[in-house]
Structure 1
């Protein structure tokens, strides 16, 4: 946690007789930046400025005071530190969960297979939104969605860590596809389980499929963590 303060004079004491105050420019900039174990991130601040002030005070006892209260934010950070002090294993747990999440998200896109048609290779994959994406060379285009273009086989199983694998039939490539969802229903992995032997009409050539199932992919990700 770092707190920075640039204040020229927080208190201005005036004599009892007479004072002449001329201010061309003064700036008070107070910032609170805190990041605790990826639990709490705070960035708050106050900026106060005065420009071109000419003030004459006679026979007055006065005091000018600038108060900026960031106590509540500091209390939040302090409570987080106290919790970590009582439960130091929380830091290791949080780091492990973050690493596992990063690895799973990094493997969201799942290659379904490819078709050679007219000398051109068309590759198909599922993105994290459930779209079926066709790739030709360096060009990608959405050609469908797993909900509309695949048929749920009714097979579902838990693969741990709140992930659920469901098997769909994709007749366009003649294959069964395992799609893994997290607890929020978002896709984290898609992979071909096996080819069913039937492809879509009008396609020529061979269909090449991924040999790694979603279960193995997720298991390897979790094993690394």
Structure 2
């Protein structure tokens, strides 16, 4: 076997001598897989699944040899061609990086909105494919924001006040402050802490509302 014809996996058992083997297997599951990929351009997956239940095997006096040769030339060739294409066409990599950057911006924009005081009451998608979020700001206003697919705020409007929502529960904490739970028109439940004058000190979303 010359150097250029070397296999990727070689298992050579020239001699195997067995006098007696007793095997009792109830349940055996095995998975052999190959996963090769280059960015999001090429993905090759090959696998073998084996499942055995209740096997009783007895072997006596065996003399055998085994040879296993595995070659992955086709897989290697596909990956090499892909890398060559990327090298000759660097604009493909630029496009991939732009896609990643847009995804990060979108996730970052949504995450930043979710971290605003009060949190996200509800989140829907309008007919234009834009994300519409209802949040509570620091002063207790219900704010509805529309974001494009990059996470940029397209519009923002105050649509109500926390103190005007339906009260479903009210208690007093150890500091003498009023802790009030209210229900938004979207169905979301918000808990707000008020001072003695009725001013909103802080708020948080207990449960999100349903989609419109």
> What's the TM-score bracket when you normalise by the shorter of the two chains?
0.3 to 0.5
TM normalised by structure 1 equals 0.39
